[in-house]
Amino acid sequence: MLSASWRDEKLGIREFVEGHYKHFNAGELARCAESLHGFLNQGGRLMITLAGAMSTAEIGRSLGPAIREHRVHAICCTGANLEEDLFSLIARSAYEALPEWREMNANDDAALRDKGMNRVTDVAIPEEVINTIEKPLMELWEGAEAVGDRRFPHEYLYDLLLHGDMEFGSNHDFSWLMAAADANLPIFTPGWEDSTLGSLLAARVLDCSLKGPDIVKSGLQAMQALADWYREDDSPTGILQVGGGIAGDFAISVVPMLRNDAKVDVPLWSWFAQISESRPSYGGYSGAPPNEKISWGKLDVDTPRFVIESDATIVLPLLLSALE
């Protein structure tokens, strides 16, 4: 508990959240942080799912330390989040900040395009970073094809980070992918084809630089690997869903797949939280409330569950930092 003189003390993030975040979404964040802290300290495992553009928003500044401190045990993310952390690590100094993005018009975006810059809300990513990655990545793909090897997308990127001759344009301490590579963290990337590097692979197959796309394992194989990960440890396993979309639904659906389709007796998810600005009334997965997941056999009535309806770029760093 906080002392009576807490206002006069320099508070850590956890104490600040506990002392100031009392009601509404702030209160839900405080309750979620306290619950997750206890869940992890009691031996629970945590899967984080990443949708949206969290990597370009530099979530690695808080997610990286959480991985290094063994607070995160697996990640399920979009192909964009996987690669955009690498892009940032290599070329962040060449990114263009766009603080007045709300005032931009179509001609402003056309000017960015003509400069070889791709905008993500308030920042533009140089296309040149793709060229920097393509050569060493193609060498890995060609080597894999020559020996009949197949790997998941993140395994190729781990190889680039740990064994490649890459020059980094930003502090690797700010990269969650580097932290994950150092820890050999399991990563699951459904729909990887919907990414810049996925498009690059398709292009190299189309121009016959590569014989086929099978050097990269598919989403179905990712689900099989996820099922193995879920069953390999008897520890309670929780899921923190950032946004929603394919990353969130793919990960949480491993449980009904195992229980209902494969007839494997596994426990339901033991802890759940979601950070999302989406609303249930539109019918999308990103806004679906936790109680709906009970009907699908993903959560149980007594599963601790939290919904923080807010901007994940604000909430997630606070939540992760409050675990320290």
Mean pLDDT to the nearest integer, 141-160: 98
Whether 4 shows a pLDDT value over 60: the answer reads no
* Whole-number Å distance between alpha carbons of 185 and 72: 9
**Domains contained in the chain, CATH given:** 14-91+128-321 (3.40.910.10)
Question: Of 215, 250, 194, 245, nearest to 74 (Cα)?
Answer: 250
The whole-chain average pLDDT of the chain stands at: 94
User: pLDDT by residue (tens digit) across 25-76?
Assistant: 999 999 999 999 999 999 999 999 999 999 999 999 999 999 999 999 999 9
Question: Of 153, 125, 124, nearest to 141 (Cα)?
Answer: 153
Label residue 16 by pLDDT band (50, 70, 90): very high
Question: Of 218, 215, 216, 213, nearest to 191 (Cα)?
Answer: 218
pTM: predicted TM-score of the whole model, two decimal places: 0.93
Whether 165 shows a pLDDT value over 70: the answer reads yes
Label residue 6 by pLDDT band (50, 70, 90): very low
- Give buried/exposed letters for 88-100 (b at 16+ CB in 10 A, else e): bbbbbeebeebee
User: pLDDT by residue (tens digit) across 93-120?
Assistant: 999 999 999 999 999 999 999 999 999 9
* Whole-number Å distance between alpha carbons of 202 and 213: 7
